[in-house]
Structure 1
């Protein structure tokens, strides 16, 4: 494996990279990463191939690298996979995507959270990593910059926020370390 091709987590999977069968045949490219963001559960990927979109469950994903995704399936089995559901195609529901105003390297990890007292702020929420907070499943204990104290926080669905709430969260941008 070349230096530039390293194993990665689903959260770092670049869109548009090739998807290969177990035998090495090119099946398409990664179009979406489907995950339950709040629970940090990788569900699979949506692949755009010659026959349209196909949803590949995580159990069929053998390897994720910086250069390719390798499946456990052969070409014929891949062609028989179902098309993704509308929920799997939505960019705002289960799929891990980021706000457009943030840089491409960090964007998929910056989320809006609400503390137990109701304060809203942005933070880095990297599944499997937290250096400035204590992880408790979908919640974390961390310092709330709104109240300047340690609080239990949880991710907020951006679609449920008013423009004023989004603006309030943006006044407390994410720091460089989760």
Structure 2
């Protein structure tokens, strides 16, 4: 089985995928997708932050790439506390 990391569509995001910040450090795990599957409109993801356990929303425009192994964001570490809480 091929274990290489490849870019994938948002609907194929792996369950509990590691979510990375702009420096390549893991900030948490993906807990869910936000979007309209029927119309293929991606709004973002729910991330459970590693440091606090809080669930936050990360908008699609802050996610440049989703791969078969990870979700990459352009977030700086100091931005995490300002992300909206997921409800």
Normalised TM-score (structure 2): 0.88
- Indicate which of 46, 52, 70 corresponds to 1:68: 70
Distance apart, 1:73 and its partner CA: 0.9
Q: Is the 8 A contact 2:22 2:72 kept in 1?
A: yes
- The reply on whether 1:45 has 2:45 as its aligned counterpart is yes
Return the index of the structure with the highest Cα Rg.
1
Higher relative contact order (CA 8 A, sep 6+): 2
Structure 1 gap ranges (5+): 86-178
- The CA distance in 2 between the partners of 1:43 and 1:18, in whole Å, is 18
Q: Is the 8 A contact 2:11 2:37 kept in 1?
A: no
Q: Indicate conservation of the 8 Å contact 2:33/2:44, yes or no.
A: yes
Matching residue of 1:19: 19
Residue of structure 1 equivalent to 2:33: 33
Q: Which residue pairs with 1:96 in the alignment? A: none
| Cα drift, residue 3 of structure 1 | 5.4
When normalised by structure 1's length, the TM-score is 0.45
Q: Distance in 1 between matches of 2:79 and 2:64?
A: 14
Deviation string 1:3-30 (CA, Å, 9 cap, x unpaired) is 5200000010011110010011210000
* SS in structure 2 at match of 1:47: strand
Aligned residues: 84
Deviations 1:101-142 (A, max 9, x none): xxxxxxxxxxxxxxxxxxxxxxxxxxxxxxxxxxxxxxxxxx
| 1:1-178 pair list within 5 angstroms | 4-49=4-49, 50-51=51-52, 52-85=54-87
Per-residue CA deviation, residues 133-156 of structure 1 (Å, 9 max, x unaligned), is: xxxxxxxxxxxxxxxxxxxxxxxx
